[in-house]
């Protein structure tokens, strides 16, 4: 698979996971800086679960594109996505920087897959 379809797939899955598949309880639950004590489980479970959803999506995209040996990029995606979201939740970056960093990660993953 060439880089353009893989990038499109990665960005499309990102939009799906970050918007359509992220319920309001997860948006509120993953924010350790504004944690609602009534939301269970604790914030780190929500944030790690959200990161894992993204990591699994990246792994599935890479497998579909013929790069199953790069499954570990999904692990990097899970960690980086959670870290970036934590920065946003803490008010250190805004939504534009948050999404820009997420998109940059997808470009790196696609570059590693196609050009490495």
DSSP string computed for 29-88? HT-GGG--TTSSS-HHHHHHHHHHHHHHHHHHHHHHTT-GGGTHHHHHHHHHHHHHHHHH
3-state SS class at 113: helix
Residue 113: CA count within 13 A, CB half-sphere: 31
Report the interhelical angle of 95-115 vs 3-15 (nearest 10°). 150
pLDDT in tens, 13-61: 999 999 999 999 999 999 999 878 888 889 999 999 999 999 999 999 9
Going from N- to C-terminal start, the domains of the chain cover: 3-115
pLDDT for 67-92, tens place per residue?
999 999 999 999 999 999 999 999 99
In angstroms, the first-to-last Cα distance of the chain is 13
């Amino acid at each position: 698979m060439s880089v353009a379809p893989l990038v499109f797939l990665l960005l499309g899955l990102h939009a799906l996971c970050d918007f359509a598949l992220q319920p309001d309880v997860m948006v509120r639950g993953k924010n350790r800086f504004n944690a609602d004590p009534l939301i269970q489980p604790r914030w780190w479970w929500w944030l790690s679960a959200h990161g894992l959803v993204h990591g699994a999506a990246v792994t599935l995209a890479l497998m579909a594109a013929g790069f199953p040996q790069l499954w570990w990029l999904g692990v990097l995606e899970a960690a980086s996505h959670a870290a970036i979201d934590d920065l946003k939740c803490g008010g250190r970056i805004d939504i534009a920087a948050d999404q820009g960093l997420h998109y940059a990660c997808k470009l790196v993953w696609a570059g590693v897959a196609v050009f490495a």
